[in-house]
Amino acid sequence: MKRIFNKIDGWKIIQDKIEFEENRLAESIMSLGNGYMGMRGNYEEMYSKDSHRGSYIAGVWFPDKTRVGWWKNGYPEYFGKVPNSVNYIGINVLVNGKYLDLGKCEVENFYRELNMENGVLTRTFIANVDGSKIEVKVQRFLSIKRKELAVIKYDVKSLNFDGEITFVPYLDADVTNEDSNYDEKFWMNISSGSKEYKGNVISRTKDNVFGTEVFTICANMINKVSKKAKVSEYMNKDFYSENTIVVDINKDETVSLTKFIAITSTRDYIQDELLSTSENILNEEIVKGYENLLKEHSEEWNKRWETSDVKIDGDIAAQQGIRYNLFQLFSTYYGDDYRLNIGPKGFTGEKYGGATYWDTEAYCLPLYLGVADKHVSRNLLEYRYNQLEAAKENAKKLGLEGALYPMVTFNGEECHNEWEITFEEIHRNGSMIYAIYNYTNYTGDYSYIEEKGIDVIVEVARFWASRVHYAKYQGQYMIHGVTGPNEYDNNVNNNWYTNYIAKWCLEYAVENINKLQEQCQKAVARNNIKEEELNKWITIAENMYLPYDNELDIIVQQDNFLDKELIEVKDLPKENLPLNQNWSWDRILRSCFIKQADVLQGIYYFGDKFSIEEKRRNFDFYEKYTVHESSLSSCIYSIIGSEIGNLEKSYELYSRTARLDLDNYNNDTEDGLHITSMSGAWLAIVQGFAGMRTWNETLSFNPKLPQQWNSYSFNINYREHTLKVIVEKENVFIENMSKGQVELSVYGESYKFEDKLTIKREENLALSM
Ligand code: BGC
């Protein structure tokens, strides 16, 4: 753990000293986004020390030609990534003709805060530029009221001189990606323009040989200064446009530049309309003035928090953690655009691009089910439905039937090129179906399965039926050559989680076909399902091999896992961790160390199929060997930890989940934030500490309270109700904020109520601890 921002506040992320060594980490943490676009916490003005500039537009991606040492048949031809795009925040500042550069000049009182309550990033500092001292305040936000709009207000106060300040606001589309496979630039210039106080740049992703969509984006700026400019010039060239605005300044006077930017793209408009549309947006918005735009934006954030805030009393670090996670996740995705999905790094870095992974279905969907309108979750399901044909193509490429959803994708095609992931980490297919089950069970809305979901369920079942093989001496079906969720072991046989979820997918397919035979014949007919096919699925499911050790009475992660040298994580020298940064890959693969929940992932998904005792035995066994070097791990262990009454461990793992980036647990946050696992902090509270479950379409809670906390509360949408749940030391309160009667169970007792329910916790402590 490494905390660089030591001042902790429930609503703010505070940086009170300038970071040079850890600037990339600070830039990741100070990221902003509005679902449509986003950026790392780069400075507006020139900065000559180490920095990773990054600004990304949702859904705008580029197929970067695959680079591998030895080409294997079936490799995807490209690695998809969301390219770093036009730098639109740039504002160079000159003080009496000398550049302000925080990498070079003397800096005092540096302070930066990310206000999560209203999504505004503010920076203040005093700088000495060759003897001229200025006090600077910069505020910026990406409007969530008007998605195309970004606003920056840059104030400069003279502390000791009469002279001049030059603002050079610019747009620069000549940008690169650090992770480009062939050091290639991904953008080409279309045009640029400039006028007094105005500028625009239009650029397009380069043509590519893979036939994927190209995107054109337009960045347009209008700059306003607080006093009459002495000089006002403008200039543009390929990829670039700037204004130069010089104003006089007197000692103690403040001068300001406000830069309004609109970004439009061919995802929404035709190329010829990009410039005029962005101009219209700017004209419509600017008349409102900076303060009103900020107010509108803040009010939207307030609305989001009203429905989703989680309050923790007694533990400010935990409070900050959960809000940070919700803030960054909602900054990445709030369900406004059905074409989008949630990239593991969102808009905060290059690694993992903004591509879609199984993370969405496995980790994010349950959060959106709980806090957003159900159409958001349905959009996420339809995103995969719309890619079904590509998933069938993907299975075909591997010589298999049915549909194999990609591990990493933008348009349905696989675009990840490590063989052990692309070809082998097929468990991801199960999560596509689990998400359909989750949505249907949670919302009670069966129409999705009837209309679309069944097609996905059937094709995934076909995939599993063709991917298993029959082991004749064992008389069972097996799945060889896979990578389970634990990516620290590859090409294993019979990964329990994969076999279990494959079996479940087949059973779920049969169950739904049988249901639809009665309810919606046409859904069955359009999938062309024959009796023998169903029987085959039943036979495979009934005879699926699931590794188990009778002596230890535990599930075995995969064949021969117990033959490894079993060393516990606590016995490893501290400096070996994280293993992925200190050990060779082959040493990791041979070891018993588990990157992320694997057996536990299955126990979490299918929690109603395992007793508390079974959960405890498997948790206790596997936790010892798990290094949680995937951000997706600790939330699952935290949830099961709460369920089995190991609150101490589950609290520790909650902190690791909620503060993973703020405390840089895995020493990799400088690359960007772990966006998709941010839902894990919410899950660890709601499903973990509060024990919310929805098995068999019944809502239940089993609330516990970590001893470090006085109380916590959250809201959830469940079917037609919105409920507020408050867990205090003595009582649990559940408030129905909607109309009608609520039916649920708490600590195993059923209740029906209309307004409020109060349950003594003390009486239940014995039961729940
Ligand atoms: C994890 C995967 C995950 C990916 C993106 C990897 O480190 O092992 O399970 O899908 O990150 O978050």
pLDDT tens digits for range 573-593: 999 999 999 999 999 999 999
Which DSSP category does 576 fall into? G
pLDDT the model gives residue 74 = 84
Structure tokens at 118: 């209203």
Give the pairing type, strands 700-701 and 742-746. Answer: parallel
Distance of alpha carbon 633 from alpha carbon 683, whole angstroms: 12
Q: Compute the 3-state secondary structure of the chain and give helix, strand, coil in percent, each to the nearest 5.
A: 35, 25, 40
Structure tokens at 88: 């639109």
Task: Give how far Cα 110 sits from Cα of 129, 137, 159, Å.
Answer: 15, 10, 16
Tell the residue nearest (CA) to atom 6 of ligand 1.
630
pTM higher than 0.95 for the full model?
yes
Compute, in angstroms, the gap from residue 40 CA to the centroid of ligand 1. 21
Identity at 168, one-letter amino acid code: V
Distance of alpha carbon 241 from alpha carbon 221, whole angstroms: 9
| Residues with catalytic roles | 487
Q: What is the Rg, in whole angstroms, of the alpha carbon atoms belonging to the chain? A: 27
**All structural domains of the chain:** 31-307 (2.70.98.40), 713-768 (no CATH)
Distance of alpha carbon 13 from alpha carbon 16, whole angstroms: 10
Tell the residue nearest (CA) to atom 12 of ligand 1.
344
Task: Give how far Cα 717 sits from Cα of 240, 336, 635, 735, 745, Å.
Answer: 47, 18, 21, 12, 16
HSE-up (13 A, CA, CB side) for residue 268: 18
How far the first Cα of the chain sits from its last, in Å, is 28
pLDDT the model gives residue 171 = 99
Tell the residue nearest (CA) to atom 3 of ligand 1.
359
Structure tokens at 653: 């793992």
| Among candidate residues 170, 168, 141, the one with its CA nearest the CA of residue 153 | 141
Tell the residue nearest (CA) to atom 5 of ligand 1.
344
Distance of alpha carbon 752 from alpha carbon 755, whole angstroms: 10
Which DSSP category does 256 fall into? E
Distance of alpha carbon 769 from alpha carbon 168, whole angstroms: 61
Which DSSP category does 451 fall into? I
pLDDT the model gives residue 258 = 98
Compute, in angstroms, the gap from residue 677 CA to the centroid of ligand 1. 9
Compute, in angstroms, the gap from residue 595 CA to the centroid of ligand 1. 10
The 10 Å Cβ neighbour count of residue 707 is 10
Contact 255, 119 (CB under 8 A): no
Which atom of ligand 1 approaches the CA of 630 most closely? 7
Identity at 429, one-letter amino acid code: N
Contact 251, 158 (CB under 8 A): yes
Compute, in angstroms, the gap from residue 410 CA to the centroid of ligand 1. 16
Distance of alpha carbon 225 from alpha carbon 751, whole angstroms: 62
Distance of alpha carbon 148 from alpha carbon 86, whole angstroms: 14
Which atom of ligand 1 approaches the CA of 357 most closely? 10
> Residues near 485 by Cβ (< 8 Å), separated by ≥ 6?
425, 427, 497, 595, 596, 597, 598, 601, 630, 632
Which atom of ligand 1 approaches the CA of 425 most closely? 9
DSSP three-state, residue 521: helix
Contact 146, 281 (CB under 8 A): yes
In this structure, what are the phi and psi dihedrals at residue 122, rounded to the nearest 5 degrees?
A: -125, 140
Which atom of ligand 1 approaches the CA of 674 most closely? 12
pLDDT digits 0-9 by tens, 536-576: 999 999 999 999 999 999 999 999 999 999 999 999 999 99
| Among candidate residues 477, 464, 448, 443, the one with its CA nearest the CA of residue 509 | 464
Identity at 753, one-letter amino acid code: F
Tell the residue nearest (CA) to atom 11 of ligand 1.
630
Structure tokens at 473: 């001496």
Distance of alpha carbon 706 from alpha carbon 727, whole angstroms: 10
In what helix (H) or strand (E) does residue 15 lie, and over which residues does it extend? strand 12-15
- Ligand 1 contacts (CB < 6 A) are 344, 352, 357-359, 485, 487, 595-596, 630, 632, 676
In what helix (H) or strand (E) does residue 518 lie, and over which residues does it extend? helix 496-519
Tell the residue nearest (CA) to atom 9 of ligand 1.
485
Structure tokens at 187: 């953008």
Compute, in angstroms, the gap from residue 630 CA to the centroid of ligand 1. 6
In what helix (H) or strand (E) does residue 306 lie, and over which residues does it extend? helix 290-308
Task: Give how far Cα 229 sits from Cα of 97, 111, 167, 248, 483, Å.
Answer: 15, 29, 10, 8, 63
Q: At what angle do helices 454-467 and 428-443 cross, to 10 degrees?
A: 150
Listed in sequence order, the DSSP H helices in 175-289 are 274-286
pLDDT the model gives residue 352 = 80
Identity at 39, one-letter amino acid code: M
The residue with tokens 């809000």 is 323
DSSP three-state, residue 547: coil
Contact 594, 572 (CB under 8 A): no
In testing the pocket of ligand 1, which one of 332, 341, 359 has its CB within 8 Å of the most ligand atoms? 359
> Residues near 610 by Cβ (< 8 Å), separated by ≥ 6?
603, 618
Compute, in angstroms, the gap from residue 407 CA to the centroid of ligand 1. 9
Distance of alpha carbon 734 from alpha carbon 737, whole angstroms: 9
The residues of the chain scoring below 50 in pLDDT are: 769
Structure tokens at 516: 């639809």
Distance of alpha carbon 314 from alpha carbon 318, whole angstroms: 9
Compute, in angstroms, the gap from residue 397 CA to the centroid of ligand 1. 23
Compute, in angstroms, the gap from residue 594 CA to the centroid of ligand 1. 13
Compute, in angstroms, the gap from residue 359 CA to the centroid of ligand 1. 7
Which atom of ligand 1 approaches the CA of 629 most closely? 7
Using a 10 angstrom Cβ sphere, with 0-12 exposed, 13-18 middle and 19 or more buried, the burial of residue 521 is: exposed
Compute, in angstroms, the gap from residue 629 CA to the centroid of ligand 1. 10
Residues across the chain: 769
DSSP three-state, residue 738: coil
In what helix (H) or strand (E) does residue 375 lie, and over which residues does it extend? helix 374-385
Give the pairing type, strands 554-555 and 548-549. Answer: antiparallel
Which atom of ligand 1 approaches the CA of 595 most closely? 8
Compute, in angstroms, the gap from residue 425 CA to the centroid of ligand 1. 11
